[in-house]
Amino acid sequence: MFNMIKMGYSRQLNGANIIQLPKNLDRRGNLSVVEEITNIPFEIKRTYWIYDVPGGAVRGGHAYRNNEEFIVALSGSFDVVLDNGLSRTTYSLNRSYYGLYIPKGVWRQMVNFSTNSLALILASIPFDPSDYVYDYEHFKELSNKELEGSVS
Ligand code: TYD
């Protein structure tokens, strides 16, 4: 169902993955589309976008307890660095016909934004400040507990 390219795939990153989107090409230009459940593995509750990012800026620097996201570089390029407390993987996004699925419980940063880049983010829950984990050490404790809980 999900057209996942297993780029840098690792179990530790809980299934974070690049997902290819349908691409409709014709003489008038290209059109890509995302449908909840069909193309990405969650229902979309919120959409936001990041733009006018100054050179060298770092976005993110946190994890979500429950929120899942799908990020597309609609314009330009940037890197998403994912971290599960044990290992790190960097995903470069630079095309509007694929995106990065990020499961809950993954530490993430967005870096290396090109001039005029535009990041579209689809999220699985409404905005909730209490869903954020901002402290990296706390995040590591939480992910260790999760791992212990999953080994039964
Ligand atoms: P933040 O989540 O810190 O951005 P990033 O993770 O990209 O660095 O959000 C920046 C600000 O925007 C913060 O004040 C919260 C606000 N915000 C909302 O009001 N609604 C939202 O859906 C998001 C994602 C952020």
pLDDT bracket for residue 81 (50, 70, 90): very high
Q: Ligand 1, closest atom to CA 50?
A: 7
Across 97-122, average pLDDT: 97
* Chain-centre distance for alpha carbon 108: 8
Looking at residue 146, its pLDDT comes to: 77
- The whole-chain average pLDDT of the chain stands at 90
Residue nearest to atom 25 of ligand 1 (CA): 127
48 lines ligand 1 (CB under 6 A): yes
CA of 151 to the centre of ligand 1 (A): 34
CA of 8 to the centre of ligand 1 (A): 27
Q: Is the pLDDT of residue 94 over 80?
A: yes
SS (H, E, C) 70-120: EEEEEECCEEEEEECCCCEEEEEECCCCEEEEECCCCEEEEECCCCCCEEE
Q: Do residues 142 and 104 make contact, with C-beta atoms less than 8 angstroms apart?
A: no
Q: Is the pLDDT of residue 16 over 80?
A: yes
60 lines ligand 1 (CB under 6 A): yes
Q: Is the pLDDT of residue 64 over 80?
A: yes
In a domain, 4, yes or no: no
Q: Is the pLDDT of residue 113 over 50?
A: yes
25/27 Cα distance (integer angstroms)? 7
Q: What's the total number of domains in the chain?
A: 1
CA of 152 to the centre of ligand 1 (A): 36
Q: Is the pLDDT of residue 122 over 80?
A: yes
Q: Do residues 114 and 27 make contact, with C-beta atoms less than 8 angstroms apart?
A: no
Which residue(s) pair with 24 in the sheet?
A: 31
In a domain, 70, yes or no: yes
In a domain, 49, yes or no: yes
Across 98-103, average pLDDT: 97
50 lines ligand 1 (CB under 6 A): yes
Q: Is the pLDDT of residue 5 over 70?
A: no
CATH of the domain at 27: 2.60.120.10
CA of 19 to the centre of ligand 1 (A): 24
54: helix, strand or coil: coil
Across 56-69, average pLDDT: 97
Q: Ligand 1, closest atom to CA 48?
A: 22
pLDDT bracket for residue 101 (50, 70, 90): very high
In a domain, 121, yes or no: yes
pTM beyond 0.85, yes or no: yes
User: What residues make up the domain containing 36?
Assistant: 12-150
Query: Active-site positions?
Result: 62
127 lines ligand 1 (CB under 6 A): yes
Residue nearest to atom 19 of ligand 1 (CA): 127
Looking at residue 12, its pLDDT comes to: 40
Task: State how beta strands 23-26 and 29-32 pair.
Answer: antiparallel
Q: Is the pLDDT of residue 148 over 90?
A: no
21/59 Cα distance (integer angstroms)? 24
Across 139-146, average pLDDT: 88
67/45 Cα distance (integer angstroms)? 10
